[in-house]
Amino acid sequence: MVLPKIQNDNEIWLIDDDPMELHLAQRFVKLSNLKNELVTFNSAEELFDCLDEVGSGKRQCPALLLVDIRMPRMSGFDVVRKIRQNPAFMDIPIIVMFSNSDRQRDVNEALEAGANAYQVKPQDGDAYLELLNSLV
- CATH number of the domain within which 83 lies: 3.40.50.2300
The pLDDT of residue 98 is above 70 = no
The pLDDT of residue 134 is above 90 = yes
The answer to whether the CB of 7 falls within 8 A of the CB of 63 is: yes
pTM for this predicted structure: 0.94
Q: What domain range is 90 assigned to?
A: 12-134
Distance separating alpha carbons of residues 1 and 104, to the nearest angstrom: 12
| Domain-located, residue 100 | yes
Rounded mean pLDDT of 77-81? 97
| Domain-located, residue 113 | yes
Q: What is the largest CA-CA distance in the chain?
A: 39
- 36 pLDDT band (50/70/90 cuts)? very high
| Domain-located, residue 46 | yes
| Domain-located, residue 4 | no
Bridge partners (DSSP) listed for residue 99: 120
| Domain-located, residue 1 | no
Count how many domains the chain has.
Answer: 1
HEC profile of 35-95: CCCEEEECCHHHHHHHHHHHHCCCCCCCCEEEEECCCCCCCHHHHHHHHHCCHHHCCCCEE
Determine the pLDDT at residue 2.
86
CA-based nearest residue to 115, from 51, 69, 50, 62: 69
